Amino acid sequence: MIEAVVGAQSLLVGSAAGRMALHDRHGVNLLAVSRQGKRLVQRLRDIVLCPGDVIVLQGPLSTLPERLRDLGCLPLAERTLRLGNRGSSFLPLLILGGAMLLTALGLVPVAIAFFAAAALIVLTGGLPAREVYRSIDWPILIMIGALIPVSDAIRTTGGTELIAHFLSSTAAILPPWGAVALILVAAMAVTPFLNNAATVLVMAPIATVFATQLGYRPEAFLMAVAVGAGSDFLTPIGHQCNTLVMGPGGYRFSDYARLGAPLSLIVVLVGVPLIIATWPLR
């Protein structure tokens, strides 16, 4: 494999990768394209090459220089690329599986188990410490930490009872399953504004008081909060996973609602009966 720059007079300029038939005509394969200052979101075969693009070609080493001259491309200096550590590729999976097993058996608390798993992955060389710090989403952590006292303030100042009273008065005319659906939909509606973890911090006390005022057990309502808070499919900001894939996928804000709206409806229609069946209201 070799990296090369597409020249101004190159045969590749103005042609899409999928229509050039490089393998059949020149005996090389196009593996990647990079364009300075732009994010390429098309499929590789649909990218129309421009002068200055950096491409990665694969082919026989003996013929690559000649092929580059024919195509009008300039080779770049050779460099070593680290694509992964095959020796320890399964070790992080084993560590993660062990943490999940210990948590499922109730032997170790969730926070301790997964923090220890992350530390072991770093200590065993599965992930460099620099990558760990780079991957931490500090704004999310700060926001969640800042919303913990907000949640406590809502509870101690009577805001929880006020909101719960409003919801319970609305749910007084609803059947039991309607009350659970109301909490589930409320959690879904709050999640885009507070993030999923913060939504649980705010909505959990409200759901508990709500259930008590209606004379129901709180377990089903708390699970409705958990499901609703983790089911934000309408926006790219309600869950960190949505935000992380927005850039690489080239998605727009409206793309999430196109698939998220029917998916949210399915969660409500399927989740409410399953929650009530698993956690009886009385």
Question: Is 142 in the same domain as 71?
Answer: no
Least confident interval from 122-136, 140-154, 228-242, 268-282: 140-154
pTM of the complete model: 0.53
Question: Is 142 in the same domain as 261?
Answer: yes
Per residue in 16-38, pLDDT tens? 877 777 777 878 888 888 888 67
Is residue 230 a part of any domain in this protein? yes
Question: Is 47 in the same domain as 177?
Answer: no
Question: Is 128 in the same domain as 143?
Answer: no
Instruction: Return the higher-pLDDT residue of 139 and 268.
Output: 268
Per residue in 64-112, pLDDT tens? 888 888 888 888 877 665 544 454 568 888 998 999 999 988 888 888 9
CA–CA distance from 101 to each of 90, 107, 210 (Å)?
16, 9, 34
Instruction: Return the higher-pLDDT residue of 134 and 275.
Output: 275
Name the pLDDT band for 269 (thresholds 50, 70, 90).
very high
Is residue 123 a part of any domain in this protein? yes
Is residue 96 a part of any domain in this protein? yes
Question: Is 106 in the same domain as 170?
Answer: no
Least confident interval from 132-136, 185-189, 212-216, 266-270: 132-136
Read off the CATH number of the domain in which 25 is found: 3.30.70.1450
Residue range of the domain that includes 111: 86-135
Report for 55-59, 127-131, 239-243: range of highest mean pLDDT = 55-59
Is residue 192 a part of any domain in this protein? yes
Instruction: Return the higher-pLDDT residue of 72 and 167.
Output: 72
